[in-house]
């Protein structure tokens, strides 16, 4: 067998947790690839909330969902994921099946716009509260740059201390690779 790489493993987790007609969050839209992936999982009667703070990311994501013909089920939101409570429809409360965060900065764009520990942790807390039982929140942690290391160092204690009666927390990481490649934290609501 061949072990899943980091990005394929993130997608495997989402495939297993996000059903047709489900509700999913792309917390960091970036170029919109994960938004489209989630939109294809939930199909036209499901819902994907897709957040980004960068105009360029919002434009790219809007363009991509149009091209891929998945606009109906996607709500693109030009705001920080930490404000998710302002956008989540009442009927989706406690009903989120899956969420993904790709942390760090968007390659090829403004490197000063990165995710930050406080807002990332705030958003995780809010999403965990609204996850459905057996719903999954996936974090892809990029820590090859300085801000990424700072973020990782705050995130790990936070997720490792989540109560085990309520959540399963998984870290999936190739530990013998050079240059601090990204790794996954997955949190499942029990």
Q: Give the residues lining the site for ligand SAH (CB under 6 A).
A: 28, 30, 51-54, 57, 80-82, 102, 104-107, 113, 115, 119, 142
Distance separating alpha carbons of residues 190 and 175, to the nearest angstrom = 27
To ligand SAH, the closest distance from the beta carbon of 68 in angstroms equals 18
Cα–Cα distances (Å) from 124 to 25, 31, 108, 131, 145, in that order, read 11, 21, 26, 10, 21
Pairing of strands 74-77, 47-51: parallel
Q: Give the shortest CB-133-to-ligand SAH separation in angstroms.
A: 26
CB of 17 or CB of 49, closer to ligand SAH: 49
Q: Which is nearer to ligand SAH, 136 or 141 (CB)?
A: 141
CB of residue 189 to ligand SAH, shortest distance in Å:
22
Taking the least distance from each CB to ligand SAH, the nearer of 82 and 188 is 82
Nearer to ligand SAH, 87 or 167 (CB): 87
Nearest distance from residue 134's CB to ligand SAH, in Å? 25
């Amino acid at each position: 067998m061949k072990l899943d790489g980091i990005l394929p493993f993130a997608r495997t987790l989402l495939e297993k947790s996000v059903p047709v007609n489900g509700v999913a969050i792309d917390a960091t839209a970036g170029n919109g690839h994960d938004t489209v992936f989630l939109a294809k999982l939930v199909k036209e009667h499901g819902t994907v909330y897709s957040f980004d703070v960068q105009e360029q990311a919002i434009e790219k994501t809007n363009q991509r969902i149009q091209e891929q013909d998945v606009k109906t089920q996607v709500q693109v939101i030009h705001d920080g994921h930490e404000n998710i409570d302002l956008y989540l429809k009442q009927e989706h409360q406690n009903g989120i099946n899956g969420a993904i965060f790709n942390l760090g900065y968007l390659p090829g764009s403004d490197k000063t716009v990165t995710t930050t520990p406080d807002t990332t942790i705030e958003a995780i807390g809010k999403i965990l509260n609204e996850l459905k039982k057996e719903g999954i929140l996936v974090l892809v942690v990029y820590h090859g740059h300085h801000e990424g290391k700072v973020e990782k160092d705050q995130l790990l204690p936070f997720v490792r201390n989540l109560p085990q009666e309520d959540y399963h927390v998984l870290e999936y990481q190739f530990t013998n690779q050079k240059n601090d490649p990204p790794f996954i934290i997955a949190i499942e609501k029990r």
